Structure 1
């Protein structure tokens, strides 16, 4: 296994400068493009800057434009946790500042995180049938945003199959999840089944960009309730960020390991046949 150890910070920068320059370039380009909203039938597709950044990163990789080599890709994977740390610190600061909102939110917001665990029972069998092994644990234990990716990386290590699974869903979620969330919420809102406040509350799943996508659509559909929807979505997002990490540690990851041990011997051979 390759190790990327450097005698000094200067040596590291000299070896990885291309990664840093491209990252800043992609950020500048993506920020310049901004959000793009595309009406489609009853719904609306929303493209966020992270979508363009990920596309640019893929195009610059060793399989396409070859601007970044395989060795630099492996080095960049170690930087994911570094990039996530400021976000986690910001989450903790926001949670502390919003503690009164969290306490006053009531059981509906606090208990909604249990709903996210239900997807494990659907996702784990599908992942195993598609040929995933231990990657399935990282991929299915949660929605796999920044805090979850940091947790899996800390528990299993940056080069582990669990982290590869988590990182894969993080990337796919950044590209497709935001589009899906905005489109899905516009379809559900048009059905008139749920109250706008309930839709706002359900937008905060622990992924800021997905919450923003869903909230942007809801506030356009219900402009008179825009402030209340945004407040509920923000409170829900804050709580999901706080209790979601504990759900993952104490329930989500152990549940995934338990299911993996029992389902892999039964379903694992289906993935081998497809390969």
Structure 2
């Protein structure tokens, strides 16, 4: 176990060093400049090395079942310093944030978009009970815990939420790092995009806010403060929004569109 942990630590340090060496790269799409961050390169490199063709020798030890289980089990401890950083970013702007606090609360209703928009699409492409797990939020830890407790992960609903969780883990940070500057170039205010970055996923928030900072470095403190405050509020209110608003709405829409009563 100690040897596997050492391999894992070396691997993480190599990935971080490689991503930082690549640095921030810009891709020009017409009038839109998209900054590709080291975080995105780290995710892409890790994904590529996880392919079966590379799982030989040293890489096979890195992607061993014990390392994978260890990483998933102790991910929370890695996220704790990030949560502390959120608080440090929010503190200098606390008065400004409190003055528009109601906006942060109202934006929580945006979490219902996965049900309002995602559920009809999921049913349209042929999903049924899998759609229940796949459209209840963005498939992070809160939704995963709720679905696993109510239905178990071996159920159709469980397969839906775990599929979304995996997709979000693999591609979420990459998508948000590209999507945020595209919306900024479309004319949406940077404060609004910073608030929208706090979707309940640390990696997605970091990717989106870092892309915004790369585009507007003079507003770095404001962007990070708004994004961090939104992330903290989403982490706190997200469960209540899901249970008291998203679940009843999803149950009603599912029955309406399929004629079946969700258990």
TM-score range, shorter chain: 0.7 to 0.9
Is residue 53 of structure 1 aligned with residue 41 of structure 2?
no
Are 1:155 and 2:168 matched, yes or no?
no
2:106 corresponding residue in structure 1: 111
Return the alpha-carbon distance in structure 1 between the equivalents of residues 161 and 111 of structure 2: 16
Partner of residue 219, structure 2 = 225
1:197 and 2:211 are equivalent in the alignment = no
Q: Which residue of 2 is the match for residue 176 of structure 1? A: 171
Q: Counterpart of 1:166?
A: 161
Q: Counterparts of 1:5-16 in structure 2 under 5 Å?
A: none
Conservation of the 8 A alpha-carbon contact between 2:86 and 2:228: no
| Aligned-pair CA distance for 1:89 | 7.3
Query: Structure 1 residue aligned with 2:27, among 30, 35, 39?
Result: 39
Q: CA RMSD in A?
A: 3.8
- Would you say 1:185 and 2:170 are equivalent positions? no
Structure 2 match to 1:273: none
- Cα distance in 1 for residues equivalent to 2:110 and 2:144: 20
Q: Which residue of 2 aligns with 1:7?
A: none
Q: For residue 10 of structure 1, what is the aligned residue in structure 2?
A: none
1:132 aligns with 2:127: yes
Deviates more, 1:240-249 or 1:35-44: 35-44
Shift of 1:130: 2.0
> Partners in 2 of 1:159 and 1:21 — Cα distance?
33
1:264 corresponding residue in structure 2: 258
Three-state SS of the structure 1 residue aligned to 2:27 is strand
SS in 1 for 2:212: helix
| 1:230-258 residue CA offsets vs partner (Å, 9 max, x unmatched) | 11111011111111121112222232233
Q: What TM-score does the superposition give when structure 2 sets the normalisation length? A: 0.72
Name the stretch that deviates more: 85-94 or 242-251.
85-94
**Contact 1:95 / 1:242 at 8 angstroms: preserved in 2?**
no
Q: Which runs of 5+ in 1 are unaligned?
A: 1-12, 267-275
The change in CA–CA distance for 1:25 and 1:95 in structure 2 (over 3 A counts) is closer
2:137 is equivalent to residue 146 of structure 1 = no
Alignment partners' CA distance in 2, 1:250 and 1:261 = 17
Residue-pair matches, total: 242
CA drift of 1:28 comes to 5.1
Would you say the 8 A contact 1:178–1:210 is kept in 2? yes
